[in-house]
Structure 1
Amino acid sequence: MALYGARTKDSAGVVTLDTTVTTVRSAYTTRVTGRGSTVDQYFAIPQIKASSFVVVTPVNPGGELPAAWWTTGQLQLRRPSTGTFNVTILEYNGLPDKVALYGLRTRNGSSFTQIDNANRVLTLARNGAFTMGFLGPGSAVLDRTVTFSSPITTVDQPFVFLNLDSPGMVYKFTMRGSAGNWTGFSLSWWPGVSNTQKFVVSWVAGVFGSSGSAGDYALRLRDETGAQIFVTTDNLILMNGFPSNDRFVRSGSDLADPQYYWTSYRMPWTSSAQDYFLANSVIGGPFFDGSSSYDNPVGFIGTDRSFLQAYSAANSQTYGSANNGRTLFAARLMRPI
């Protein structure tokens, strides 16, 4: 079978980039600011194409995160108030751009690879794992704060992806640090489904930048300023699965406790235990319903990885909607850590 594309290997013969089997999606980032008390607000963003997937995250870590939907050229936010939000536009088939003059673009059937000066790829910056949940009678890990081995110095927040090795639900994700000095993140266990869960959270933090060194075996790409935009010693974080605009829909059994009514939402997942979900955009901030803010736990309630489970709190059953407007995608590393 004929193959068309580019392949690089390191000194040990490990493939570091293979455009014939690996689809790399590009990204464009911008920001929008809410215009006040209007419930549904719309923002013209011409970079959103028919093939785009949009991720919305709070600029202020842990701040309220509105529901988000989009159509070609337009972003919709529900109750953004006057908050400012990061908007990352990821492309399924690349983003040709008049200013994309430096980089690499290949196509092999449905596999499209684009890395250039206008559209950056997501690369691994830090990673780790920790245990949460019920450890035994009178002992549980409810909250964890992770400190990176060294701060991540990008202006934009890193994308932090989580994976659980067994059933568990997490929420209250908050980045630590500030622009140019991201020091880690915090996370909490939500025992609303089961207070006897114990699970390992594996995490990876990615940035839209390049920090690897070329060494003797590598392909390196630079932009018009001479800055490195990619080197094949970088480990790419790949979007594995391309959810549509409204995949998180009401499904499963709702839960009630003395304080809140928890509406159940689910979205189709990849059925693979290798895939991580994006914490920043699904549990990176609470919903705001016009008067109160409510948490949004997410995770897996059993061994079935064909769906990702989420809940949204409200004062009563009447507040559940058709979909919850949280935007995320499945991701995995191009090569093992």
Structure 2
Amino acid sequence: MDLYGLRTRDASSVVTLDTSVTPIRSLKMLQVVGNGTFEQNISIPEIQAQSFVVVDALTDRGANTYSPAAWYSPGTLKLRQPGTATWQVMILSQGGEPFASSGSYGIRTRNNNIATQIDSINNTLSIRYSGAFNLLVAGGGGAPDIVGDVYNAWPAPITTYERPLIFLNGTDYMMVGNFRVIGSPGNWTGFTVSNRAHPNHGSIWTQPMRIKWFCASYQADTSPIGQYGVSVKDANSNRLFASTMNIALLNNQPTANAFVTAGAPITGTGYYASSQQMAWTGNWADYVLANALFSVTNVVQTTQPYRVNFGGFLPGNRGTLQMYCENFDGINAVLANGRTTFAARPMRPI
């Protein structure tokens, strides 16, 4: 099989960029404004059949930071209860769409059916920060295990207008919620997430959840690039991309793009959490995007306007992404269906 594209290595012969195996997703970012209706349809021609769309908040509302439920089809984005806020819309390509006409500075490669484009419009999603933490329910463990919420502060803020994307992966069981990114446009400083382990999931719920994470952004890395690889600049010599960046691989995706009502709900006196599931990749190396999935849902017409979404992976299972949504009266439970998410992993170990 003939290969067409680009491959670079560093001084240690480690591959830093390979367009034969890594589709660098083209990206378009824009803002949309809610019109206050229950459901709002927005025409966005750039959404194509192979696109991923993520709708994210631009403001930090504390514990009530939410992203609206979103559905999309070619050319159209549907938001449920967007209010009158401004929302960030990110359109990511799977690499099969035609090249976009977006300027004279950058890289275009075609490798069989993979189209890679890097320029000032089609930015690359690269990993800026990463780490790991342990979450534990009250009454067990000790340092460095964390009971309740965890806050990860970054060494320096992410200065993009849009929120950076946070990806999570558990070594096994992972059940988290109340997610939010801390900061504001141009000054994102960290993220927080809470432990939502539950006894319905077996004895493992009392054990530490060992969770890895990385923060991916479209902010170009300005650190020295050395003598090996490739660097892309725009007409004003601003760096758009360098192969020293650790790219977030986006080429291993679940076959489904929606949740269905399945699995046992979590119930109790005055408590109900509906259960939804979506087929996942089956690969333990894949992280899940947390931004719009594990934040709360806004239901403005009820006495419980903000409802917690929580979920992750059940013990020993990477074939299913498990989600719950709290609704204390158990009536008209909100579903996770339509919440936008996708899988990613680092190109190089972190």
TM-score, length-normalised on structure 1? 0.93
Q: Are the equivalent residues in 2 in contact too, given 1:145–1:184 (CA < 8 A)?
A: yes
**TM-superposed deviation, 1:245:** 7.6
2:291 and 2:118 mapped to 1: Cα distance? 23
| Equivalent position of 1:234 in the other structure | 245
Q: Say which of 60, 82, 85 aligns to 1:83.
A: 85
Q: Which residue matches 2:19?
A: 19
Counterpart in the other structure of 2:119: 116
Q: Measured at CA, do residues 245 and 60 of structure 1 come closer, stay the same or move farther in structure 2, by a change above 3 Å?
A: farther
The alpha-carbon deviation at position 323 of structure 1 amounts to 5.6
* Structure 1 residue 322, shift from structure 2 partner: 6.9
CA contact (8 A) 2:177 2:194 kept: yes
**1:48 counterpart letter in structure 2:** I
Q: Which residue of 1 aligns with 2:210?
A: 200
Residue 180 of structure 1 is aligned with which of 186, 210, 216? 186
1:241 Cα deviation after fit: 3.3
Provide closer, same or farther for how the CA distance between residues 264 and 70 of structure 1 changes in structure 2, counting only shifts above 3 A: same
Q: Find the counterpart in structure 1 of residue 341 from structure 2.
A: 328
Q: Scaled by the length of structure 2, what TM-score is found?
A: 0.90
Aligned to 1:35: 35
Alignment correspondent of 1:64: 66
Q: 1:40 to 1:243 in 2, by over 3 A?
A: farther
The number of equivalent residue pairs is: 336
SS in 1 for 2:240: strand
C-alpha offsets along residues 197-253 of structure 1, whole Å, 9 cap, x if unaligned?
Answer: 421111100111320432111201112322111110011012133457842111111
Going from structure 1 to structure 2, the CA distance change for 1:130 and 1:222 (only over 3 Å counts) comes to same
Give the distance between the partners of 1:236 and 1:204, measured in 2 at CA.
11
CA distance in 1, matches of 2:208, 2:270: 25
Aligned to 1:284: 295
Report the 3-state secondary structure (helix = DSSP H, G, I; strand = E; otherwise coil) of the residue aligned with 1:150. Answer: strand
SS in 1 for 2:274: strand
Aligned to 2:159: 153
Distance 1:269 1:244 in 2: 7
Distance 1:177 1:321, change over 3 A: closer
Contact 1:250 1:321 in 2 (8 A): no
Mapped contact 2:282–2:319 kept (Cα < 8 A): yes
Letter in 2 for 1:329: F
CA separation in 1, counterparts of 2:317 and 2:154? 31
| Separation (CA, whole Å) in 1 of partners of 2:6 and 2:102 | 23
Partner of 1:236: helix, strand, or coil?
Answer: strand
- Distance in 2 between residues matched to 1:60 and 1:169, nearest whole Å: 25
Kindly indicate whether the alpha-carbon contact (under 8 Å) linking 1:34 and 1:84 is maintained by their aligned counterparts in 2. Answer: yes
Instruction: Give yes or no for the alignment of 1:163 onto 2:169.
Output: yes
Per the alignment, do residues 84 and 244 of structure 1 end up closer, same or farther by CA in structure 2, a change over 3 Å counting? farther
Report sequence identity in percent.
38
Output the CA distance in 2 between the equivalents of 1:95 and 1:188.
Answer: 41
Q: State the partner residue of 1:250.
A: 261
Of 273, 292, 306, the match for 2:319: 306
Q: What is the identity, as a one-letter code, of the residue corresponding to 2:84?
A: T
Could you list the runs of 5+ residues in structure 1 that have no partner in the other structure? none
Partner of 2:273: 262
- Residues 125 and 281 of structure 1: is their aligned pair in 2 closer, same or farther, counting only changes over 3 Å? same
Distance 1:33 1:245, change over 3 A: farther
Give the RMSD, CA atoms, in angstroms. Answer: 2.1
Q: Note closer, same or farther for the CA distance 1:323–1:167 as it changes in structure 2 (3 Å cut).
A: closer
Partner of 1:209: 219
Counterparts in 2 of 1:214 and 1:314: CA distance versus 1, 3 Å? same
Query: What's the counterpart of residue 53 of structure 2?
Result: 54
Q: Partners of 1:85 and 1:15 in 2: how far apart?
A: 37
CA distance in 1, matches of 2:80, 2:316: 33
What SS class does the counterpart of residue 309 from structure 2 fall into? coil
Q: CA deviation at 1:317?
A: 3.8
